[in-house]
Amino acid sequence: MRGVTLDCADPRTLAGFYGALTGMRELFSSDEFVALTDGSGCDLGFQRVDGYRPPRWPGQEVPQQAHLDLRADDLDAVEELALELGAAKPDRQPGDGRWRVLLDPAGHPFCLTSS
């Protein structure tokens, strides 16, 4: 896989969130698209979509479309960082402590996992 791209209303803001959370750096940036890289060959992109509607997890009124799983050595520390950066933690947490479901600033669900 070469990369994953998420739809959003503001690519620069969402790229800033994921860059700070993952340590990835900016590879390319325009008003319509921002790409982050870590040199692994699989980049993370963010594209502007007019009329963007965020997913409504866990409901399906507006489906998830996709979600990312991010590995974290210390779930508590990375969750705290994500929340400080603007993520939200929904009440429903189906992982029995094995992973944490968070919502990025554009509403996309993503999981933090230690495995």
pLDDT in tens, 47-104: 999 999 988 878 777 777 778 899 999 999 999 999 999 999 999 998 787 889 999 9
pLDDT at residue 87, as a whole number: 97
Q: Are 8 and 46 in contact (CB under 8 A)?
A: yes
pLDDT recorded at residue 96: 80
* Distance set, CA 5 to CA 55, 75, 90, 94 (Å): 15, 24, 23, 25
Rg of the chain over all Cα atoms, to the nearest angstrom? 14
Per residue in 2-11, pLDDT (tens digit) is: 899 999 999 9
The three-class DSSP label of residue 61 is coil
- Higher pLDDT residue, 60 or 36? 36
Report how far apart the first and last C-alpha atoms of the chain are (Å, whole number): 21
pLDDT above 90 (res 26)? yes
Q: Identify the pLDDT of residue 31.
A: 93
Residue whose pair of structure tokens reads 């600033």 in the numeric block: 105
- Residue 10's pLDDT is 97
Question: Quick one: which of 62, 77, 66, 61 has its CA closest to 104?
Answer: 66
Alpha helices in the chain (DSSP H): 11-22, 75-84
Instruction: Tell me the C-alpha distance between 21 and 3, whole Å.
Output: 17
Residue range 35-40: mean pLDDT, rounded: 96
pLDDT of residue 59: 76
Structure pTM?
Answer: 0.85
